[in-house]
Amino acid sequence: MRTTYIGLGSNLGDSKQILCQAVAKLATLGTVRVSQLYSTAPMGPQDQPDYLNAVVELKTTLMPLALLDALQAFEQESGRIRLRRWGERTLDLDLLWYNNQTIQHERLIVPHLGLLERDFVLLPLLDLNPNMVVKGQVLKELNVVQHTMLQPIANNDWVKQTTQ
């Protein structure tokens, strides 16, 4: 089994339900654990709703490109709408980290390019792996983590609460 981390985001439709459905689909690929749930201001244009963000730890046998294909299929099945770059979307699934590997492929770069800069990714990752190191960086020691104002809006049982 390979350990992977997948970032989840949504700000269109019933975002919490959409993210719960995404977690259920990810669970068909292996064993999952979920981070706390965060509400975050948009990174791109500010004339859009806030996002709900989380990270899923997925232990899977899938190889990186097969996993990417599955993530993209899940986005499409969820009716993914992406109106503009860094704009609103129904579902965004990003392969953040794959079994401590560095991958440079025309379709996939891992670790994810923005991983070390985005508190809405780093904090949920740290929920799942408090001592995680990426590219030699101890995540909990990064400036963006040390100075974030981001707080979770739900603990890691948000998936169960939504599906009950």
Catalytic residue check, 33: no
Q: Determine the Cα–Cα distance for residues 109 and 33; give it in Å rounded to an integer.
A: 23
Catalytic residue check, 92: yes
Residue partners of 20: CB distance under 8 A and separation at least 6: 158, 159, 162, 163
Which of 84, 92, 107, 127 is flagged as catalytic? 92
Catalytic residue check, 89: yes
Which of 50, 89, 127, 157 is flagged as catalytic? 89
CB 153 within 8 A of CB 124: no
Quote the DSSP letter at residue 139.
Answer: G
Which of 50, 94, 107, 119 is flagged as catalytic? 94
Tokens of 140: 């909990």
Which of 2, 33, 80, 82 is flagged as catalytic? 80
Catalytic residue check, 80: yes
Tokens of 132: 């995680």
Of 37, 5, 3, the residue nearest 20 (C-alpha):
37
* Active site positions, annotated: 80, 89, 92, 94
